[in-house]
Copies of this chain bind each other. A is one copy, B any other.
Amino acid sequence: MLTSKTVNEFINELASSSPAPGGGSVASLAGALGAALTSMVCNLTIGKKKYAGVQAEMESVVKQSEKLRSSLTALIDEDTNAFNAVMSSFAMPKETEAQKNERTAAIQHATKNATVIPLRVMQLCEQMLPFVRLIAEKGNVNSISDAGVAALMLHAACMSAKLNVQINLGSLLDAEFVRKTGVQIDEIGERMERECQNILRHVNESLNTYQ
């Protein structure tokens, strides 16, 4: 499993001439990092006298961000597995007509799965946003930069996952799925762009007051 490798090994494998892991797994990892930072800010707020008033809210957020972190972490490996399945389907024999049909069906099936996984990453990143906004507005102000980094990581994760959906949509024959998914990723992408900018504007204002 990729997540059982050391950080160094993961980065080395990424740089290598093997196409997997690639941008899809990096997208999931960036999402997991954003969720983990959100949990960290909650954990650095909980139990502090100054923040007693938001203790319950922070405890509720950390529960949810930990759940999303776990899902996003699992998708690091799932994306690479999905990519490898696409590669395997392309390697299937294509001599007889029956083999050709079987191969095409396998490629379509595997590619659809490789589209659904980054789409899931986009959805999970979007689900994180209310929590990131909350830690930016009410979390420990000493960690305000970490709240901003969480927003930036989730933004990069979501937009990276979008590129991975797009490149896979290009090889799918199911026109209705392609159309619907295309609309879906555009909508998530726009909401993500807007909300991350709002959060980052707030972080920058807080940083100016902090100084």
Residues of chain A having any CB pair with chain B under 8 Å: 2-8, 10-12, 14-17, 19, 22-23, 26-27, 29-30, 32-33, 35-37, 39-40, 43-44, 46, 66, 69, 73, 76, 142-146, 148-150, 152-153, 155-156, 159-160, 163-164, 166-167, 169-170, 200, 203, 207, 210-211
Contact = CB atoms under 8 A, between A and B. Distances in A.
Number of copies: 2
Contacts of A146: 22-23
A29 B142 CA distance: 22
Contacts of A163: 145, 148-149, 152, 203, 207
B8 A7 contact: no
Contact of A169 (B16, B30, B160, B211): B211
Contacts of A159: 152, 200
Contacts of A11: 3, 32-33, 36, 69, 73
Nearest to A22: B146
A40 B20 CA distance: 9
A150 B23 CA distance: 8
A121 to B, nearest CB: 12
A118 to B, nearest CB: 9
B207 A15 contact: no
B30 A156 contact: yes
8 contacts: A15-B37, A19-B44, A22-B40, A30-B30, A30-B153, A152-B163, A163-B203, A166-B207
Nearest to A47: B17
Contacts of A14: 33, 36-37, 40
Contacts of A26: 33, 37, 149, 153
A149 B145 CA distance: 23
A142 B6 CA distance: 28
Given A7-B5, A148-B23, A15 B40 contact: yes
Nearest to A156: B156
Given A11-B33, A144-B167, A155-B156, 17 more contacts: A15-B69, A16-B40, A19-B44, A22-B37, A22-B40, A26-B33, A26-B37, A27-B149, A30-B156, A148-B163, A149-B164, A152-B159, A152-B163, A153-B156, A159-B200, A166-B211, A170-B210
